[in-house]
């Protein structure tokens, strides 16, 4: 039987998505090795577990987890030997049945030293804890600031010192903080476990001091070994700095689980949840729905039906502002309001064609109203991005696209219900902002392997940059042949394409993770569960919006 054109395109799309997922898994497997096998073996020889082994033992078995920032530092710091996962592993998971966030220094990466991206990643973990009233557990094993880059990590507002400021703020907010010193804890870093609610230290391998034995000798002339200076016995029997002396990593992690087991329940935010229903459509069908050619249209509703419970959407203003889909649904039982870019080419009420992925005045107006409704009803928002930006041209300007775009941004930015963002395709220009990009405080923001985040697409940007470059060369009297112009275009486009990839975004923590599309339901569900730990700090008020 002959295969139809639609089936052929589906198979091509499916193949391309699976290739991207395989590439993603290969990169992650490399990152999971941290500083490499030799350093892992050395750590084991000293009686210690790796950061990931510690997390695996700490978290409840056979439960879901979401890793944040696995690609942090990806492709960066090559002159310093690289920094896999930013030298720290951060996971949202469950300990003794309690959802929490775990931060574990990776001692196989430069002895757990802090690079600039390490600081940014740690601050992201604390931000998640503060936004969601989520208990945070620190597994400390760090040599402190990476000195060759100290000027980029030490003194500024979003640098190393902000960690301790956040420790104090979280304490005042009543957020549970538990710290386990399972290796080095040096200099300013020594304040982190002591500013936590409770602290543990592992005998013979954990040490805390403001200055190590060599520096003490140089500074005050005192000769002393590190264990006597700041080991487990010293800090649990003499100084009283730590609360628990653990015999080894296993004993330490068991004690943390015992502590977490006793934590009481706080009031939740009241988000609605019912029994979960799987989508009627196979979740992995999205592999074939999303076109391999990102310029091609597709029906976003078909994609959403593979994500939401029972494949059921209650669409708001279905026949108005069709380039944005607004719909109520459930994901893993949780009630959600979905704002998604429609990538089909559609007709508006006047019969005019509207390009998919573009935000028009009517769709911006609709989205703003829907966002306000979700805040009124206490329904978390899920933004599904595949957006090329707002519509331009005289017709849109005269219709007030700037005003309606501002209305949508205002409604979204002031939202008090939690927001979650899934970048499935394009995330260009002001469309990134309106659809809740990183600057607008989504509780979690993740990308599929097909995500692209930039001011504009690669081809458009390359053409613009090429025009500037050619004009400059001609002004210098250089002759530009068609061959030379094509060479310049390819060079510019390749450079730009590398910067719009999801890996580039994830390495800089513009997104929290790159995920297999099949994990979308899990990420949203765990995100809403953590957000449900904390009621909104204020009532919804959109401020001044022009009508």
CA dihedral 496, 497, 500, 502 (to 10 degrees): -150
pLDDT at residue 144 is higher than 90: no
The answer to whether 154 and 113 are in contact (CB under 8 A) is: no
CB burial string 81-97: b at 16+ within 10 A, e below? ebbbbbbbbbbbbbbbe
| pLDDT score of 499 more than 90 | no
The 8 Å CB, 24+ separation contacts for 218-225 are: none
DSSP string covering 6-43? HHHHHHHHHHHHHHHHHHHHHHHHHHTTTT-HHHHHHH
Which of 111-120, 352-361, 469-478 is least confident? Answer: 469-478
Q: Is the dihedral of CA 67, 502, 34, 21 positive or negative?
A: positive
- Average pLDDT score over the chain: 92
DSSP element (H, E) containing 330 = strand 324-331
Taking the alpha carbons of 374, 378, 382, 383 in that order, is the dihedral positive or negative? positive
User: Quick one: average pLDDT of 365-369?
Assistant: 96
Quick one: pLDDT at residue 1?
62
DSSP one-letter string for 286-311: HHHHS-SSTTS---HHHHHHTTSGGG
Average pLDDT estimate for 487-507 = 86
| CB of 111 closer than 8 Å to CB of 140 | no
pLDDT for residue 324: 97
Determine the Cα–Cα distance for residues 450 and 460; give it in Å rounded to an integer: 18
Report whether pLDDT(544) > 70.
Answer: no
Of 68-72, 270-274, 476-480, the least confident = 476-480
d(CA 181, CA 94) in angstroms, rounded, equals: 20
Residue 254 reports pLDDT greater than 60: yes
Sequence-ordered list of residues with C-beta below 8 angstroms from that of 199, at least 6 positions apart, any chain = 178, 179, 180, 181, 193, 241, 242, 243, 244
- Residues 528 and 374: their CA atoms lie apart, in Å, by 14
pTM above 0.95, yes or no: no
Q: What is the pLDDT of residues 76-122, one digit of tens each?
A: 999 999 999 999 999 999 999 999 999 999 999 999 999 999 999 99
User: CA dihedral defined by 532, 537, 538, 543, rounded to 10 degrees?
Assistant: -90
Q: What is the Rg, in whole angstroms, of the alpha carbon atoms belonging to the chain?
A: 26
- E strand intervals along 143-221: 177-186, 198-202, 207-209
503 pLDDT above the threshold of 90: yes
Task: Encode pLDDT of 22-47 as tens digits.
Answer: 999 999 999 999 999 999 999 999 99
Positive or negative, the Cα torsion across 307, 308, 311, 316?
A: negative
Measured between its terminal Cα atoms, the distance across the chain in Å is 57
Contact indicator for 520, 306 with CB cutoff of 8 Å: no
Query: Do 407 and 365 contact (CB within 8 A), yes or no?
Result: yes
Alpha-carbon torsion angle 300, 305, 308, 311, nearest 10? 150
d(CA 381, CA 335): 9
pLDDT recorded at residue 547 = 53
Confidence of residue 471 (pLDDT cuts 50, 70, 90): confident
């Amino acid at each position: 039987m002959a295969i139809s054109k639609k089936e052929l395109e589906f198979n091509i799309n499916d193949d391309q998505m699976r290739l991207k997922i395989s590439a993603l898994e290969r990169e992650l497997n490399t990152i999971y090795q941290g500083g490499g096998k030799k350093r892992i073996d050395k750590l084991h020889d000293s009686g210690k577990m790796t950061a990931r082994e510690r997390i695996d033992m700490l978290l409840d078995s056979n439960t879901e987890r979401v890793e944040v920032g696995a690609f942090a530092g990806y492709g960066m710091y090559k002159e310093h030997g690289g920094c896999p996962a930013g030298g720290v592993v951060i996971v949202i998971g469950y300990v003794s049945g309690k959802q929490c966030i775990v931060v574990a220094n990776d001692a196989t990466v430069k002895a757990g030293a802090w690079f600039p991206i390490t600081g940014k990643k740690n601050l992201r973990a604390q931000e998640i804890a503060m936004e969601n009233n989520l208990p945070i557990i620190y597994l400390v094993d760090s040599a402190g600031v990476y000195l060759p880059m100290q000027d980029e990590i030490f003194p500024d507002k979003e640098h190393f010192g902000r960690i301790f400021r956040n420790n104090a703020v979280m304490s005042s907010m009543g957020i549970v903080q538990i710290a386990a010193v399972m290796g080095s804890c040096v200099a300013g870093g020594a304040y982190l476990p002591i500013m936590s609610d409770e602290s543990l230290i592992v005998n013979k391998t954990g040490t805390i001091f403001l200055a190590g034995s060599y520096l003490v000798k140089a500074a005050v002339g005192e000769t002393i070994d590190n264990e006597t200076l700041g080991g487990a016995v010293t800090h649990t029997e003499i100084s009283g700095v730590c609360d628990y002396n653990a015999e080894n990593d296993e004993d330490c992690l068991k004690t943390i689980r015992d502590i977490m087991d006793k934590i009481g329940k706080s009031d939740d935010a009241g988000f609605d949840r019912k029994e979960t229903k799987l989508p009627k459509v196979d979740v992995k069908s999205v592999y074939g729905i999303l076109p391999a050619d990102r310029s091609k249209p597709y029906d976003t509703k078909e994609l959403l039906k593979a994500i939401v419970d029972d494949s059921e959407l209650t669409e708001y203003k279905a026949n108005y502002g069709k380039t944005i889909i607004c719909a109520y649904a459930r994901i893993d039982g949780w009630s959600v309001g979905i704002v998604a870019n429609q990538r089909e080419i559609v007709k508006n009420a006047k019969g005019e064609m509207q390009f998919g992925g573009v935000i028009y005045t009517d769709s911006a107006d609709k989205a703003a109203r829907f966002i306000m409704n979700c805040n009124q009803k206490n329904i978390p928002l899920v933004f599904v991005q595949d957006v090329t930006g707002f519509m331009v041209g005289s017709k849109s300007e005269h219709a007030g696209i700037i005003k309606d775009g501002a209305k949508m941004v205002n409604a979204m930015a002031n939202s008090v219900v939690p927001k979650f963002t899934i970048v499935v395709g394009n995330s260009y220009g002001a469309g990134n902002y309106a659809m809740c990009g990183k600057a607008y405080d989504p509780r979690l923001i993740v990308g599929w392997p097909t995500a692209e985040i930039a001011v504009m697409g690669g081809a458009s940007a390359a053409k613009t940059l090429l025009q500037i470059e050619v004009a400059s060369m001609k002004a210098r009297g250089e002759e530009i042949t068609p061959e030379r112009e094509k060479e310049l275009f390819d060079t510019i486009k390749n450079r730009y394409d590398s910067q719009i990839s999801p890996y580039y975004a994830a390495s800089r923590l513009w997104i929290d993770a790159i995920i297999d599309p099949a994990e979308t339901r899990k990420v949203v569900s765990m995100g809403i569960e953590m957000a449900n730990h904390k009621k909104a700090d204020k009532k919804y008020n959109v401020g001044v919006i022009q009508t």
